[in-house]
A and B are shown apart, each in its own frame.
Chain A
Amino acid sequence: MTTASPAARTVWRRPPFIADTRLRWAIYGGAIIYLILAFATIDVNWVRVYEGLDRGMRFVRGFLVPDFTSRWSDIAQGMQESLTMTVTSTVVGILISVPIGIGAARNIAPMPVYLLCRGIIALSRSFQEIIIAILFVAMFGFGPFAGFLTLSFATIGFLSKLLAEDIEDIDEAQAEAIRATGAGWWQVVNYGIQPQVMPRLIGLSLYRLDINFRESSVIGIVGAGGIGATLNTAMDRYEYDSAAAILIMIIIIVMIAEYSSSFIRKWVQ
């Protein structure tokens, strides 16, 4: 029996994440086998893929010569609807989200209010925009009003949840210092919490504006108005050059939103 002196130990290995060697290999091996089997079940019709290449090429060629002119009035109207829908739904969404977000922050809201607000957030988050859009189109008919309602509703879940989480993450000492002066609950929120979460709230709102614009082009496809409806019509008529024009405009607007929001966020920090 020899005991290794401390100086002799020159080899060190990081302790493995799963200590048992057999269990480790079983888990890794099992995961790989599952992935192989799962990929094997995906059925690809290669003949159809080959035929589709042609259509794809026409689409791409349409991009090379986008046609802004022949459907311009439809495009302009769709864009205007989409932008109106985006801005109004974001503003309304923010106005509703802020109180719900405050109510959903465990560190400042009493238990019943917390549960209620978390419930509203869960409800809003559990449905995808498309599903809500279909519901609202069925209730209020085709057009941008259904889209406006859809996006407002979706904004609430997104913004309230992230705002609540940001409020839960604040530096408690700052809020405690305000509380210690004898400030009331609303004053603590206004002085101790709002300054800490404001930059993030503004950042999230701009991000949501961006998302709402993109969503507005998607929910248009199910009838909720906006540029999505125009895009859908163009696709249905195989007018890929007009569709390309619409997509290019969407890309440009999203990029403008992206750059201006990062600029504004830096400014409010």
Chain B
Amino acid sequence: MLRLVNLTKTYRTGDRALTDVSVTVEPGQVVGLIGPSGAGKSTLIRCINRLVEPSSGQVFLGDTELTGLGRGALRRSRRRIGMIFQEYALVERLTVMENVLSGRLGYVGFWRSFFRRFPPDAVATAYRLLDRVGLSDHVDKRADALSGGQRQRVGIARALAQDPDLLLIDEPTASLDPKTSRQIMRLIVEICDESGLPAIINIHDVALAQQFVRRIIGLQAGRVVFDGPPDQLDEAVLTTIYGEEDWSATIRTAHDEDAVDPAEQAEGRDERESAAEILDRERLAGLS
């Protein structure tokens, strides 16, 4: 369980990125974090593993207060928090396997990692994860030889290699095409369900968030202005989060995209399906 208490971050430039953010994420819960650019989404998730140092407030992961830890203890706690990045953030010149194994760095000593002599169980886990994300054939390729979707799968495998208690996911689909975006989102949500992992996903695409996530938090100028299930996300709420705009198209887009699916058209489902049903069906459609 993740608990943020009155988290505030003011950058040295005086920019106030977060103001009194208090959020609790239950085990197994996948939370979509939406909000305009500069609302503090990236800062919020980076404050959790302290890649960005919060100015005040507390972060609890289970019983550990992450905000109070010293350097060594912070490093040990970071092992429990997997992170998936915008633009993948793979080490481009390392192989796929090295990238996945880098998720184990917190568990092995420097010389072992230097000579790439990871313990057998870590290697076995890495192979299993690569198989899970469908990249068994690309183990020895360099990360920069992969396509965008494949790279993000490596990113997911790296985060899972940490055997995390929490996933922090920063714009996982920002540079992916719509189909790949959906596959990646589905994979993330599936994995979180399988192992009861809580996750926070920063996401720009409101329709995509509505489609895959069961709880949405809206951030505006560093404050939480919405916290609820995706079907409560109506025009009024979107206007509070993002400002005045014609939102009818945005909300409808989600339905349009569902309707394009030929299988769905054949079955002639009506539009009142709950998000959860759509999610289940998406999942049955499965991923290679």
Contact = CB atoms under 8 A, between A and B. Distances in A.
B220 interface: no
A190 B110 contact: yes
A195 B110 contact: no
Contacts of A184: 75, 105-106, 110
Nearest to B79: A182
Contact of B89 (A177, A186, A187, A195): A177
Contacts of B162: 181-182
A199 B110 CA distance: 22
A184 B93 CA distance: 20
Contact of B93 (A173, A178, A196): A196
B75 A182 contact: yes
Interface stretch (B80-88, B223-231, B241-249): B80-88
A181 B105 contact: yes
Contact of B91 (A178, A182, A199): A178
Contacts of B90: 174, 177
A196 B143 CA distance: 12
Nearest to A268: B93
Contacts of A192: 91
B110 A187 contact: yes
Interface in B57-90: 75-79, 81-83, 85-87, 89-90
Interface string B90-132: 1111100010001111110010011000000000000000000
Given A177-B85, A180-B78, A180-B83, A187 B113 contact: yes
Given A176-B51, A182-B106, A184-B110, A195 B91 contact: yes
Contacts of A196: 91-93
B105 A176 contact: no
A178 B91 CA distance: 8
Task: Identify which of A174, A180, A183, A191 gathers the most chain B CB atoms within 10 Å of its CB.
Answer: A180
Contacts of B105: 178, 181-184, 187, 191
B110 A173 contact: no
Interface residues of B, number: 33
Contacts of B155: 177
A198 B155 CA distance: 22
Nearest to A198: B93
B186 interface: no
A174 B78 contact: no
A182 B51 contact: no
B81 A195 contact: no
B78 A182 contact: yes
A183 B83 contact: no
A186 B93 contact: no
B35 to A, nearest CB: 21
Given A180-B49, A181-B158, A173 B79 contact: no
Contacts of B85: 173, 176-177
A195 B103 CA distance: 16
A180 B91 contact: no
A195 B114 CA distance: 12
A182 B83 contact: no
A179 interface: yes
B110 A191 contact: no
A126 to B, nearest CB: 33
A21 B36 CA distance: 46
A187 B82 CA distance: 17
B94 A191 contact: yes
Contacts of B75: 182-184
Contacts of B106: 181-184
Contact of A182 (B76, B92, B114): B76
A177 B158 CA distance: 10
A195 B113 contact: no
A176 B94 contact: no
A199 B155 CA distance: 24
A191 B98 contact: yes
Contacts of B51: 176, 179-180
Contacts of B78: 179-182
Task: Identify which of B81, B113, B155 gathers the most chain A CB atoms within 10 Å of its CB.
Answer: B113
12 contacts: A173-B89, A176-B51, A180-B168, A181-B103, A181-B104, A182-B79, A184-B110, A187-B110, A190-B113, A191-B94, A195-B92, A196-B91
Across the A-B interface, give the 10 residue pairs with the lowest CB-CB distance, nearest first: A182-B106, A183-B105, A182-B79, A182-B78, A177-B89, A195-B93, A173-B89, A180-B83, A187-B105, A186-B110
Interface of A: 171, 173-174, 176-184, 186-187, 190-192, 195-196, 198-199
Given A196-B91, A196-B92, 7 more contacts: A173-B86, A176-B51, A180-B51, A181-B83, A184-B75, A184-B110, A191-B102
